[in-house]
Amino acid sequence: MAYSDGTEGEIIVPKKWYEKLPRPAWSGYEKVDQPDGWFEVYRLTETVYAIYEDGQFEEVISYLVLGEDRAALIDTGNGIGDIKALIDGLTELPVMVVNTHTHGDHIGGNHQFNEVAAYDSEFSREKAKRGQSKEQMGHYLDGDMVWKPFPPYFDRDSWSIRPFKVTQWLRDGDVVDLGGRELEIIHTPGHSPDSVCILDRVNRVFWTGDTFYPAPIYVYSPSTSLDEFIDSFSKMVRLLPIYDWVMPSHNEPRMEKHLIRECHEAAVSIRDGAAGPYKEGTAHGIKVHRYDYDRFSLIVRAERP
Selection from 216, 209, 213 nearest residue 186 by Cα: 209
Selection from 99, 111, 91, 109 nearest residue 32 by Cα: 91
Domain ranges of the chain: 2-301
- pLDDT at position 233 is 98
Q: Which residues, 6 or more positions from 51, have their beta carbon under 8 angstroms from its beta carbon?
A: 39, 40, 41, 61, 62, 63, 64, 77, 83, 86
- pLDDT at position 305 is 65
For the chain, residues with pLDDT lower than 50 are 1-7
CA distance 77 to 67: 21
- Domain 2-301 CATH superfamily: Ribonuclease Z/Hydroxyacylglutathione hydrolase-like (3.60.15.10)
CA distance 177 to 209: 19
- pLDDT at position 259 is 98
Q: Find out whether the peptide bond into 22 is cis, omega within 30 degrees of 0.
A: yes
| Element (DSSP H or E) covering residue 118 | strand 116-119
Q: How far is CA 264 from the centre of its chain?
A: 18
- pLDDT at position 270 is 98
